[in-house]
Amino acid sequence: MSKLVKLLVFTLALVPASLLARALYSGNLGVNPAETLQLETGIWTLRFLIVTLAVTPMRRVTGWNRLIQYRRMLGLFAFFYGALHFASYVVLDQYFSLEGMLADVTKRPFITAGFVAFASMLPLAVTSTRGWIRRLGRRWQLLHRLVYVAAAAGAVHYLWKVKVMAGSPVYYAAIVGFLLAFRIVWSLRTPRPLSSVRPS
């Protein structure tokens, strides 16, 4: 049953990418396909980061510990869509110009926030394997708290990108803020040493 649910989650997580690929192939991405690709992949990155962060609070509130089995997969899909988002920026916006990207990072704050978010996800993706979990031991859990940095930076990136403090960017930022607050409050209420890390 668990494998079947994982397969279902995996399939559903690929749906947004499949729809974008179909729209790109058929020329249905609107008047600015590059902008649409960047926006959609960025939003889906943030959504998957939020869902990944929500696993632990949901598990603690509901007691449904099986949710932890899907956290690593959801986190990897966050990185997958983040990589698509970054690739679309590099290829379609900057045309592989390293100089242009460096200038963007220093001159445009929302680009800086986006780079922080992606850079935070990169080590999480690299160390998500069972081998790395065993090698890092308790340090793995500390390292993977970078997911909070990635989510916060991603929410800021979205807010600063649209420059409108209303609508979905604010909602996503509020959700991320709530999940961060939940983590802090829970940690203060139940202080304890780091437990052994098990691969999910």
Residue 90 is classified by DSSP as I
* pTM attached to this predicted model: 0.86
Burial class (CB in 10 A: 0-12, 13-18, 19+), 195: exposed
Q: Is 140 helix (H, G, I), strand (E, B) or coil?
A: helix
What average pLDDT does range 14-31 have in this prediction?
90
Round to whole Å and give the CA distance between 141 and 143.
5
Q: State the chain's mean pLDDT as an integer.
A: 86
pLDDT, mean of residues 65-93: 90
Does residue 104 have a pLDDT over 70?
Answer: yes
Asked if 55 and 68 count as a contact pair (C-beta separation under 8 A), the reply is yes
Q: Does the pLDDT at position 197 exceed 70? A: no
Q: Quick one: pLDDT band at residue 95, thresholds 50, 70, 90?
A: confident
Q: What is the CA radius of gyration of the chain?
A: 18
